[in-house]
Amino acid sequence: MTILILSSLLLVLGVGLLGGALFGRIRKRRLALLLAAILTWTVAGCMAFGGQKEEVATIPTAPPPTATFTVTPQPAPTSTPTSAPARPTATATQPAAAAPGPSPLATPTHIPKAEAAYGQLVFPSARSGNLDLWVMDLANPDNPVQLTTSPAADVEPRWSPDGSLVLFSSPEDRQYNDLFVIRADGTERRRLLDWPDSHEWGPAWSPDGQYVIFTTERDGNYQLYVMSFDGEQAPINVMQDSYFYTYPDWSADGRWVVFVSDRSGNWDIWKLDIQQCLQARLAGDVGPEVCQPQQLTNNFDDDFFPRWSPDGSKIVFASRRDGERDIYVMDADGSNVTRLTTAIGNDSTPIWALDGQAIIFSHRPVDNWDLYIMNADGSDVRQLTDSPGQDRFGDWKP
């Protein structure tokens, strides 16, 4: 606004100088006034039109308990399954920077030397021509094993807390995505939720494995629902309002759920006391005021894919706030936001690995997504996959 006022004043001054040039009596003075008018208008024009164009955030469109609700914090698994096939996919955007891209080395140098500590990564990949789930031993990232072979796109896998099952989203033989579960050895695939006329995606387990939270469009907008894994408790609409919610993740203590919502006008990250909210819903309270989330980010551009750290102190997420999409981390209350990646290209779908010591994320330098791993502070970035198919939306277990 200040620049526009100054440029307008300069334009008026230029008109006055031009009048002196046209009607002055002394020829030399008239020429000087004419040159001064031209110079004044030039400066005014630069001030009016030379500023940077403000970036406008857009809201993207999607692809695409019982009478007492209690979630028990999940202890760390004591054993590692010996086999598990996998393969998924995803997409995103990130900011440009002068720093070099991630190193193409296959094995991160910071991974603990004890093979049992590497853990396993389940992820979607199109390397076989179709989006299926694959499982990778981080001790041997060059030889992932295929978990699903559906003709449909199997995506967004999540290990169960005990590591025996994989929860994911797939249309299978329908037009819309449903929720499915499969054993870690690729057997006993079954549909977990049968809502044939709406998309369901972005599922996450409660830390005790008894409940699943997910996003559905069955109400016209994107709402968060919670259902019991054994099917005894029907799905409950958590928020019950007109805003959009997606990509939930449950904290390890069972109290909080973090998610993305457009409540602020663009996609920001929020958290909700899920224990308190669901107790009210089960008691019959349907008012939106009983489930009021806390806003963690408030940025002009979009923040996506939040994940709690294993100890609940941090949240990692992806954001376009600096141009392209990069990986960021913040404290659980939304403070101390730190940018972790700066490579040219897009970074997305971050997850915690190695019990919070590392972060696995997807990186797209140009047109293909692959998986990378780095220390939790953003150092020592290494490439995990090098596939012509898209590799994204992974999930790690010990």
Q: Which among 166, 163, 155, 180 is positioned nearest to 64, based on CA atoms?
A: 155
The pLDDT value recorded for residue 395 is 98
Tell me if residue 135 falls in helix, strand or coil. strand
Backbone angles phi, psi at 180, to 5 degrees: -130, 160
The pLDDT value recorded for residue 156 is 97
- Residues 52-79 have pLDDT tens digits of 333 333 323 333 334 456 676 655 433 3
Separation between Cα atoms, residue 30 and residue 19, nearest integer Å: 9
Tell me if residue 48 falls in helix, strand or coil. helix
Mean pLDDT for 146-170 is 96
- Which one of 21-30, 266-275, 276-285 scores highest in mean pLDDT? 266-275
- pTM to 2 decimals? 0.73
Backbone angles phi, psi at 37, to 5 degrees: -65, -45
More reliable by pLDDT, 110 or 36: 36
- Asked whether the predicted pLDDT for residue 26 surpasses 90, the reply is no
Give the tokens for residue 82. 């010996």
Residues 6+ apart with CB under 8 A from 239: 223, 224, 245, 288, 291, 293
Across 42-108, where does the E strand assignment appear?
A: none
Pairing of strands 338-339, 324-331: antiparallel
Q: Which among 213, 115, 193, 120 is positioned nearest to 163, based on CA atoms?
A: 120
The pLDDT value recorded for residue 196 is 87
Question: Mean pLDDT across the chain, nearest whole number?
Answer: 80
Confidence of residue 286 (pLDDT cuts 50, 70, 90): confident
Backbone angles phi, psi at 245, to 5 degrees: -140, 140
- Asked whether the predicted pLDDT for residue 367 surpasses 50, the reply is yes
Separation between Cα atoms, residue 392 and residue 371, nearest integer Å: 7
DSSP state of 103: B
Contact 103, 381 (CB under 8 A): yes
